[in-house]
Amino acid sequence: MKKAKIPFGAVVLFFIGVAVLAGCVGAVTQETGSVAQTLEAIEIITSPENPPRLFVTLQAETVQQIQAVGLGQSWTIFDEHGNIVYAFNSDSPSPLQLLPSDFDEATFYLNHTSSEIEMYFSDNFPPHTVYVRRWPAEYALSDQVLYYQYEAVVISNNIVNVSDNRRNYIYEVKAIWEQGRATFAFRLNSMNTTELIESSIANEITPNKTNYATQ
């Protein structure tokens, strides 16, 4: 029985096909690697170069939104190899040392009601830890010792519950990321307090006729 002979051309075509297939596999592997590197680069880019800003919304009779005052910051950016690209750090002053004018664009007004304060961080980059505390506004510009006499505020899912107890408050928010931390401040004023002050001023200006009559 004669053995079938494989044409020489077929053998050549077979090895050429194997070589081409190996090249395709290598190309796919190389392409996969480049995609992985691209995704890694995107992940690095999405980490902001500076700490996000804090925007705060008060759901009251009308929706109020403000940008909190930025205080101290520390931030570090790493490359894909874990090397520091750049870093900076700035001291955080006490929110009690801020002037009332510093809160011109960062003040809520609560009017005879209870409500919720919701916090949003810019760049779609929320911190992994947030601490909130507050002081009565009359502590402002006072002795630094009062800084340690704060009230810790409960926060859940970036929401703080507030109620109008006829007092004004200064709030401090400390936010922490893997890249660093940032401190913010805003103020919550009671409309009741404003009304009491206006009423007191009005009484001082307008004479009391009954008192005059009895003199």
Shared domain for 14 and 89, answered yes or no, is: no
Q: Please indicate, yes or no, whether residues 74 and 92 belong to a single structural domain of this protein.
A: yes
Q: Are residues 80 and 151 in the same domain?
A: yes
Percent of the chain with pLDDT over 70: 67
Q: Which two tokens stand for residue 139?
A: 């502590």
> What type of residue sits at position 1?
M
Could you tell me if residue 211 is inside a domain? Answer: no
**Shared-domain flag, residues 13 and 67:** no
172 and 95 in one domain? Answer: yes
pTM: 0.68
Question: Rounded to an integer, what is the distance from CA 194 to the centroid of its chain?
Answer: 30
192-201 pLDDT, tens digit per residue, is: 654 444 444 3
Same-domain pairing of 34 and 111: no
pLDDT of 203 higher than 50: no
Structural domain contains residue 206: no
- Classify residue 58: in a domain, yes or no: yes
Q: Residue 15: phi, psi to the nearest 5? A: -70, -35
Task: Please answer whether residues 162 and 116 qualify as being in contact, where contact means their C-beta atoms are separated by less than 8 angstroms.
Answer: yes
User: Where in the sequence is the domain holding 186, given as residue range(s)?
Assistant: 54-199
In a domain? residue 209: no
Kindly state whether residue 210 falls inside one of the protein's structural domains: no
Instruction: Tell me, yes or no, whether 92 and 182 share the same domain.
Output: yes
Say yes or no: 150 and 109 in one domain: yes
Q: Is residue 212 part of a domain?
A: no
Quick one: 75 and 137 in the same domain?
A: yes
Rounded to 5 degrees, what angle do the CA atoms 54, 57, 62 make? 155
In the sheet with 114-121, reading across from the earlier edge strand, the strands are 63-67, 54-59, 114-121, 159-163
User: CA 64 to CA 159: how far, in whole Å?
Assistant: 14
For residues 16 and 64, membership in a common domain is answered with: no
pLDDT score of 190 more than 70:
yes
Check whether residue 155 and residue 83 sit in a common domain.
yes
Output the pLDDT for position 159: 93
Structurally, the chain folds into a number of domains equal to: 2
Is residue 168 a part of any domain in this protein? yes
215 is a domain residue: no
* 16 and 100 housed in the same domain: no
Buried/exposed code over 170-188 (b: 16+ C-beta within 10 A; e: otherwise): bbbbbbebebbbbbbbbbb
User: What is the SS3 string spanning the chain?
Assistant: CCCCCCCHHHHHHHHHHHHHHHHHHHHHHHHHHHHHHHHHHHHHHCCCCCCCCEEEEEECCCEEEEECEEEEEEEEEECCCCCEEEEEEECCCCHHHCCHHHHCCCEEEECCCEEEEEEEEHHHCCCCEEEEEEEEHHHCCCCHHHHHCCEEECCECCEEEEECCCCCEEEEEEEECCCEEEEEEEEEEEHHHHHHHHHHHHHHHCCCHHHHHHC
Between CA 209 and CA 215 the distance in angstroms is 10
- Residues 59-104 have pLDDT tens digits of 877 789 999 999 999 999 888 888 888 888 988 789 999 988 899 8
